[in-house]
A and B are shown apart, each in its own frame.
Chain A
Amino acid sequence: MYTPHTPADIASMLADIGVATLDELVRVPEGLAPQAQIEVPAALPERELAVVMADLASENTATNFRSFLGAGAYRHYIPPVLGTLAMRGEFLTAYTPYQAEVSQGYLQAIYEWQTYIALLTGLEYANASVYDGATALAEAAIMAVNATGRRSLVISAAIHPQTRAVLATYARGIGLSIHELPYAANGCTDFSALDALLATGDIAAVAVQSPNFFGVIDEPPADVVTRVKAASSVMIGVIAEALSLAVLRTPASWGADIAVGEAQSFGIPLAYGGPYVGFMACSAEHLRRLPGRLVGRTVDTNGKPGFTLTLQAREQHIRRERAISNICTNQAHCALLATMYLAALGERGLRDCAVANIRMTQQLVAALLELPGVTRVFAAPVFNECVLRVPGKAADVLLRLQADQILGGVDLGRWYPELADCILLTATEMTIEDDICALQQALQCQLEVLV
């Protein structure tokens, strides 16, 4: 129970309070006592608890497989130093740094995170993080709605389907309508329908993901960005693989007003989907609409520099129903891990990591294209993911690969019925040539049987 009270402590404290029993302290009005037996397994001593948890963990046999899974969650190298540092109890067991005088360390780390995100995206400001990349896009959409007073959004169909689904959940509740732009034959967003949508005058924002869900580098052409801005709409860039920011053109340089994304790749374990960390960056024009915590640098009463949470007048604990967002919790500890990751890798380490991802992906694609019947679906350049067409249903091919202890990628038919014979494969710096050979061989065996 992790409680320190001895029977003598309890007796003397009860006497001081003036009640006879502990039960008296938690008594509830007649009829409100639990109306059913509480069904929770009996308490275990730590030794036995550890065995139970280890057994549960070992049931996740997928972690023993060779994996080409990505699609918004990426397996990257995490230097052990991150675990050592981030698990320091001071970081792990602090609350939101409301009391700035005793939270300077954490505040400075978040200020450093805000700086890293600004440098990586090329935009002026970044917040202290949000729940994840998908909710970051939903929050960016709200920023755009508040900035323009318009109620419609245009998004690319090549944004991660899950991110679009989350945006749709928010949009239904808030009462926003969403138009999707299809993807073109080369895997990039097809903007041909954009002008007609912009002409309605009700488009708050246009959102594009690059690299997109197909792995394709999908930064909108300059003339598209010009038209979006001419229509006074907000251009939102979505980055599902933050590592790509190390080498690809920044969202700011192609014209994004707001960049949002997922920074799981910066030192955060896969952990079956969370917690991860969303980032949000924007131009100076949108700063006062940026949700979530912000850390600012200032001075103390003696003129000494320090950090504090700032611009809190935007937030729910001050403004209540007039706040710009209901966000309270951010993902401080994940943002801290990411900051440590970026500090440890540095410019060259991060660039080498990103290039290794590109190189291994090109190697993977080349190896699989040697197989008869395997074709590349989209011609445009990719970062660390690629869509390949296979003979037969992707779901069947992937299931058979599992017999060879291989997770061959993600079945695109799950979200795009027209791509039911396509697999999204990912390679990172963790992929080794032996993995690629094993996949190539296993796939070849399948194809031989089919032929």
Chain B
Amino acid sequence: MSLDIPLLFETGQPGRANRYLREEAAATTYLPPELLRETLPLPEHTELDVVRHFTRLSQRTMSIDTNFYPLGSCTMKYNPRVNDASAALAGFRDLHPYAPDALAQGALRVMHTLERALASLFGMHAFSLNPAAGAHAELTALLIALAYFAQRGEGTQRTTVIVPDTAHGTNPASAAMVGYKVVSLESDARGRVSLERILSTIGPDTAVCMMTNPNTLGLFEDHIAEIAAAVHAVGGLMYYDGANANALMGNARPGDMGFDLMHLNLHKTFSIPHGGGGAGAGPVGVSAALAPFLPTPIVRSQDDIFALDFSCEQSIGPMRSFWSNFAHMVRALSYILANGADGLAQCSKLAVLNANYLRVKLRDVIDVPFDELCRHEFVASAQGLKRDTGVRALDLAKALLDAGYHAPTMYFPLLVPECLMIEPTETESKETLDGFIAAFRAILTQARRDPSVIQSTPTTTPVARLDETQAARHPNLRWKPA
């Protein structure tokens, strides 16, 4: 069988290219031949063919714009188009990063205004807009911690990073990347980090305790102030993973909870389109004591004149090319200005409302292991269903695709077996949620009546379940000429 949509490399004809530019002489006219490649084996298509190809590909891509997307911990809220229009303004879009500060005041003002707004919203002293994504921000924060402890002469002493078992995989991966020993902390029966366990884990070797609050079970870590005090008492730092910041934006602040470092995923909380997995943006916020270590450059303001400051002696250095994923800073500021402080707080409240509504409407048909007031998301478990019928979380996820819903996050967090993590976000209406509830209940009814039907889903998608074993055993990662 062949692909429904042939690859670009299997179609097109030599000589069919578009005339965007003038025809040029051969490169040998200008450069010695020994520096030049002999062939450039790229396909040639008319613009119409390109438009059809990608339009058809887009039609085979589920998105927020096409379907409800309750993907836990990813905050798939509506991405307002005015933000994209703002980013596309020529004064932003065409601005070269080496434009002199005096001629880029609008861009610097965007960055400074956004930075101040984030600092106030999350109770931090300052933010760096430099990191390109959440995991990149975690790495940035851990490099800041390394520099901070080195400066205090505790570099060799502070070797351990504490990560609860509910944490995202990026947390331990980022910590390991810079040489920290990762200690995994088991959640208690309430799905939270307990003060007792923290006290028995921390010590003079503790560098950083990385926490997500609410955690990935959607539960608020209610002992957070005591945990932070305990970590501080042994000289460690508290890191806030902002993946779930949509649950508390405007209603509570990591800075007030005792966090010294944090990151935000602007592509989650601040409505930047995920774009199929990036580009993201991961600003890092810090307390006053850690501000000298922030990556360069920092946007400074004096008498309403803005400048990039590279002269920060204690800085860990730059984390990426240029200053930030700037187009996303425009989008995030645009979103903040559209909402205001009260609007942002209301967004969080309605995100929590939607999550709890789904929870109470589904808990009689699927296990909800931590069935209490949740924040912006909750987890369900198909463990009981699997025991009774053989139907797994994966099968439910695939059946939802057939029903026209993106699947929840599956098999995460790891401590809940057969886990489905559901985050509806605030931009979904009650009607949409009711439709999802009805579809999910129907799937569960069917699963108990005839498991094989659910186990053979999806059947209405462009392809059925894919053979991932073959994909990994015999990697076919590119087209090759015949």
Contact = CB atoms under 8 A, between A and B. Distances in A.
Contacts of B139: 173, 326
Interface in A325-378: 325-334, 336, 339-340, 342-356, 358-359, 362
Interface string A66-108: 0101011101010101011101111111111101111111101
Given A129-B278, A344-B20, A168 B317 contact: yes
A91 to B, nearest CB: 5
B317 A166 contact: yes
Contacts of B280: 329
A274 B317 contact: no
A99 B435 CA distance: 21
Contacts of B107: 56, 59-60, 272
A49 B84 CA distance: 13
B472 to A, nearest CB: 5
B458 interface: yes
Interface residues of A, number: 198
B394 to A, nearest CB: 10
A16 interface: yes
A228 B246 CA distance: 50
Given A274-B324, A308-B466, A125 B477 contact: yes
A89 B24 contact: no
Contacts of A93: 63-65, 76, 79, 273-275
B27 A25 contact: no
B31 to A, nearest CB: 6
A65 interface: yes
B43 A346 contact: yes
A190 to B, nearest CB: 19
Interface stretch (B199-207, B231-239, B247-255, B382-390): B247-255
Contacts of B271: 2
A43 B337 contact: yes
B427 interface: yes
Given A101-B458, A119-B41, A298-B466, A28 B339 contact: no
A325 B177 contact: yes
A92 B132 contact: no
A105 B59 contact: yes
Interface string B376-410: 00000000000000000000011001000011000
Contacts of A61: 103
B322 A33 contact: no
Contacts of A108: 3, 5, 7, 57, 60
Given A69-B99, A273-B322, A99 B407 contact: yes
A97 B407 CA distance: 11
Interface centre among B16, B87, B132 (most CB of A within 10 A): B132
Contact of B350 (A5, A65, A355): A5
B133 interface: yes
Given A17-B357, A102-B461, A26 B20 contact: no
A210 B72 CA distance: 43
A135 B132 contact: yes
Given A58-B91, A94-B61, A407-B96, A247 B27 contact: yes
B40 A59 contact: no
Nearest to A310: B471
Contact of B176 (A25, A321, A330): A321
Interface stretch (B44-52, B190-198, B439-447): B44-52
Contact of B132 (A120, A306, A315, A329): A329
B477 A294 contact: yes
B109 A328 contact: no
Interface centre among B21, B116, B175, B278 (most CB of A within 10 A): B278
A402 B320 contact: no
B27 A169 contact: no
B191 to A, nearest CB: 16
B458 to A, nearest CB: 5
Contact of A95 (B56, B76, B142): B76
A351 B39 CA distance: 10
Nearest to B21: A352
B234 to A, nearest CB: 22
B104 interface: yes
Interface in B317-370: 317-328, 330, 334, 336-350, 352-354, 356-357, 360-361
Nearest to A355: B24
Contacts of A54: 89
Interface string B5-39: 10111001011111011111111011110111100
Nearest to A362: B30
B99 A407 contact: yes
Contacts of A59: 91, 105-107, 109
B276 A334 contact: no
Nearest to B85: A50
Nearest to B165: A320
A111 interface: yes
A326 B178 CA distance: 11
B336 to A, nearest CB: 6
Given A94-B61, A105-B59, A114-B477, 16 more contacts: A1-B426, A2-B427, A26-B251, A40-B340, A43-B338, A53-B334, A58-B106, A59-B91, A73-B96, A75-B96, A79-B47, A97-B277, A169-B319, A175-B179, A249-B36, A349-B20
Considering the complex of A and B, which 4 residue pairs feature the smallest CB-CB distances, nearest first? A273-B322, A333-B275, A57-B91, A59-B106
